[in-house]
């Protein structure tokens, strides 16, 4: 039985109370995790504040970079073990969790490269004898809250930019998958980060609430559902502190009749069945040009039926169970809503007789979905695809944008002009053309509308964790009129 521990001020702590983490494949308890009290959260925030003022804000960027690189090395060295733990915690297939550890290390290295390159600007003024420059200052303590679907990958979208820019952090992973975040906290201590720079507190939503409402937090970065995101935004608004929100999606994946269909079908399958559809960027609405509607639907259904369900730890497995019971129940309820609303069930539609005692759901495809049906409008966060036909480019764009969300979108076409035209009209933070679910440390990521605001990864992320300080210096040596503002 794995015994996860919180990390507060560089020390691993068991917590006064503990709760069980259930492996969604075996249905068995496989780890126990501390249930942080409000007092624990307060100590973690105090430790982060102390570390910020005493060491981290004045630690040279080159040293921050060394520590981040050391952490990346450790993440890679322990990548297989961490991937196994994460797959045991949330049921995600090991071929994905292994890559996510590599991705996390890559993000740390990318932002380590910035740690000693957080430049300001000199600002030309109208007045001789005056000099003006800007610099970017860290906010202080960043409170980071993540969802259960990809704890390390989601954290890797936040932690590196926060640390590189000189912030200290308190991280709260989801109660449904906390273990690897605790392990990362231990690795940070092993890498040599000063105590208090990286803190991890564990527990349920109340712990997230206590963290985001804590007066010692200067910045919040949150990944989760839109409803929780709105609550977090209220907490941030009460204290007027900056916030980055990475929320849900209902992303359109648009296939035109001139697309390379073999690739488009792989992209559609990756969009919805990878990670059992439990990704914020899931291409859960497949918009298909009417002339190829039957052909594409048949091909997707054939591939969906052939998906290998199984043990997430088996490298041959393509789809594991969904991560937890509430999620399982919600997906089945939304499948029922699809039936009730009159969508055509092309395949799936039930819990699967998977191996083990896992919470498996059959890869499910609805055809003839109209945009007003619940399956087309609500984020399902499961392996459920809605195929929606369209007649022309204008209609495709109109349907694609007719959603509350705006996280991602895919466009499949061989026509370069069309690719640009459509990408230009889509309301989403990430657009993929002839690919789907591709990510890079260098490429900024984030949403619009109910998918949130702010950007992670890429140079843009640095701005999320820093404020611009302007410094104006008068070296003219002359006194000025005290009763008039100088412009
Ligand atoms: P939730 O919003 O329920 O949970 C996200 C995190 O917030 C968890 O750590 C949760 O703790 C915590 N939390 C719960 N209540 C509060 C509160 N009042 N104050 C502060 N924190 C709180 O999301 P889900 O777990 O359901 O995750 C799925 C969602 O995440 C989907 O909507 C998905 O689209 C989104 N997501 C977005 C991504 C993006 O980058 N845009 C990436 C991945 C997922 P606990 O779980 O312990 O209750």
Tens-of-pLDDT digits for all 487 residues of the chain?
999 999 999 999 999 999 999 999 999 999 999 999 999 999 999 999 999 999 999 999 999 999 999 999 999 999 999 999 999 999 999 999 999 999 999 999 999 999 999 999 999 999 899 999 999 999 999 999 999 999 999 999 999 999 999 999 999 999 999 999 999 999 999 999 999 999 999 999 999 999 999 999 999 999 999 999 999 999 999 999 999 999 999 999 999 999 999 999 999 999 999 999 999 999 999 999 999 999 999 999 999 999 999 999 999 999 999 988 899 999 999 999 999 999 999 999 999 976 677 889 999 999 999 999 999 999 999 999 999 999 999 999 999 999 999 999 999 999 999 999 999 999 999 999 999 999 999 999 999 999 999 999 999 999 999 999 999 999 999 998 899 887 7
Kindly report, as residue ranges, where domains of CATH 3.40.605.10 are found in the chain. 2-247+451-471
CA distance 392 to 358: 42
The DSSP bridge pattern shows strands 6-8 and 11-13 to be: antiparallel
Question: What are the distances in angstroms from CA 325 to CA 178, 331, 416?
Answer: 16, 10, 44
Nearest CA to ligand 1 atom 48: 205
The confidence score (pLDDT) of residue 400 equals 98
Catalytic residue status for 280? yes
Core vs surface per residue 220-259: b (16+ CB within 10 A) or e: bbbbbbbebbebbbebbeeeebbbbbbbbbbbbbbbbeeb
Atom of ligand 1 nearest to the CA of 176: 46
Give the tokens for residue 360: 């498996």
Atom of ligand 1 nearest to the CA of 211: 20
Core vs surface per residue 387-423: b (16+ CB within 10 A) or e: bbbbeebeebbebbeebebbbbbbbbbeeeebbeebe
The confidence score (pLDDT) of residue 354 equals 67
145 CA from centroid of ligand 1 (Å): 8
Write down the catalytic residue from 175, 280, 318, 456: 280
Which 3 state secondary structure label does DSSP give 13? strand
CA distance 49 to 132: 30
For the sheet containing 430-433, what is the strand order? 344-347, 364-367, 384-390, 285-289, 252-255, 408-412, 430-433
The most distant pair of C-alpha atoms in the chain lies apart, rounded to whole Å, by: 84
> What is the topology classification, in CATH, of domain 2-247+451-471?
Aldehyde Dehydrogenase; Chain A, domain 1 (3.40.605)
Beta-carbon contacts of 206 under 8 Å, excluding residues fewer than 6 positions away, are none
Write down the catalytic residue from 246, 318, 379, 456: 246
130 CA from centroid of ligand 1 (Å): 49
Question: Measuring from each residue's beta carbon to the nearest atom of ligand 1, which residues come in under 6 Å?
Answer: 145-149, 154, 172-176, 204-205, 208-209, 212, 223-225, 228, 231-232, 246-249, 280, 379, 381, 407, 447
CATH of domain 252-433: 3.40.309.10
Question: What are the distances in angstroms from CA 15 to CA 18, 86, 178, 190, 201?
Answer: 7, 21, 14, 21, 9
Neighbours of 281 (CB within 10 A): 26
The confidence score (pLDDT) of residue 9 equals 98
Beta-carbon contacts of 392 under 8 Å, excluding residues fewer than 6 positions away, are none
225 CA from centroid of ligand 1 (Å): 5
Q: Which of 89, 147, 243 should be mutated for ligand 1, with most atoms under 8 A from CB?
A: 147
The DSSP bridge pattern shows strands 198-200 and 219-223 to be: unpaired
Which 3 state secondary structure label does DSSP give 205? helix
The DSSP bridge pattern shows strands 130-138 and 466-474 to be: antiparallel
Q: What is the DSSP annotation of 15-78? A: -SEEEEEE-TTT-SEEEEEEE--HHHHHHHHHHHHHHHHHTGGGS-HHHHHHHHHHHHHHHHHT
Kindly report, as residue ranges, where domains of CATH 3.40.309.10 are found in the chain. 252-433
CA distance 317 to 326: 23
Beta-carbon contacts of 205 under 8 Å, excluding residues fewer than 6 positions away, are 175, 228
Nearest CA to ligand 1 atom 14: 205
Q: Which helix (DSSP H) or strand (DSSP E) does residue 41 occupy?
A: helix 38-54
480 CA from centroid of ligand 1 (Å): 55
Q: Which of 86, 224, 226, 444 should be mutated for ligand 1, with most atoms under 8 A from CB?
A: 224
Question: What are the distances in angstroms from CA 144 to CA 69, 175, 303?
Answer: 21, 14, 38
pLDDT tens figures, 344-387: 999 999 999 766 778 899 999 999 999 999 999 999 999 999 99
């Amino acid at each position: 039985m794995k015994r996860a521990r919180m990390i507060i001020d560089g020390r691993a702590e068991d917590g006064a109370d503990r709760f069980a983490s259930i492996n969604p494949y075996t249905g068995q308890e496989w780890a126990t995790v501390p249930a942080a009290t409000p007092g624990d959260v307060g100590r973690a925030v105090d430790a982060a504040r102390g570390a910020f003022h005493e060491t981290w804000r004045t630690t040279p960027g080159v040293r921050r970079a060394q520590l981040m690189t050391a952490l990346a090395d450790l993440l890679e060295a322990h990548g297989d073990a961490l991937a196994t733990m994460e797959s045991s915690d949330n049921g995600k297939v090991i071929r994905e969790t292994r890559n996510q550890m590599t991705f996390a290390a890559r993000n740390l290295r990318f932002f380590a490269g910035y740690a000693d390159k957080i430049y300001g600007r000199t600002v030309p003024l109208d007045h001789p004898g005056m000099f003006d420059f800007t610099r970017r200052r860290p906010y202080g303590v960043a409170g980071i809250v993540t969802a259960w679907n990809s704890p390390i990958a989601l954290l890797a979208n936040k932690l590196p930019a926060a640390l590189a820019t000189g912030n200290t952090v308190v991280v709260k992973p989801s109660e449904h998958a906390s273990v690897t975040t605790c392990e990362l906290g231990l690795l940070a201590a092993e890498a040599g980060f000063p105590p208090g720079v990286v803190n991890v507190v564990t527990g349920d939503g109340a712990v997230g609430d206590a963290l985001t409402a804590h007066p010692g937090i200067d910045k919040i970065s949150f990944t989760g559902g839109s409803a929780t995101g709105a609550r977090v935004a209220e907490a941030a608004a009460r204290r007027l502190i900056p916030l980055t929100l990475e929320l849900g999606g209902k992303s359109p994946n648009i296939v035109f009749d001139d697309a390379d269909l073999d690739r488009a079908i792989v992209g559609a399958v990756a969009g919805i069945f990878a990670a059992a559809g439990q990704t914020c960027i899931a291409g859960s609405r497949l918009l298909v040009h009417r002339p190829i509607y039957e052909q594409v639907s048949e091909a997707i259904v054939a591939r969906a039926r052939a998906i290998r369900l199984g043990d997430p730890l088996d490298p041959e497995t393509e789809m594991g169970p969904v991560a937890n019971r509430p999620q399982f129940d919600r997906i089945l309820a939304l499948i029922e809503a699809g039936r009730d609303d009159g969508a055509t069930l092309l395949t799936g539609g039930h819990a699967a007789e998977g191996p083990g005692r896992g919470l498996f759901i059959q890869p499910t495809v609805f055809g003839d979905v109209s945009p007003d049906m619940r399956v087309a409008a609500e984020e399902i966060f499961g392996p459920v695809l809605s195929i929606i036909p369209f007649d022309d480019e204008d209609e495709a764009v109109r349907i694609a944008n007719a959603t509350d969300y705006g996280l991602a979108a895919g466009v499949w076409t061989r026509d370069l002009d069309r690719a640009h035209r459509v990408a230009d009209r889509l309301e989403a933070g990430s657009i993929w053309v002839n690919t789907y679910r591709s990510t890079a440390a260098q490429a900024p990521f984030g949403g619009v509308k109910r998918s949130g605001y702010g950007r992670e990864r890429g140079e843009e992320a640095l701005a999320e964790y820093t404020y611009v300080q302007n410094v104006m210096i008068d070296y003219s040596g002359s006194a000025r009129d005290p009763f008039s503002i100088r412009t």
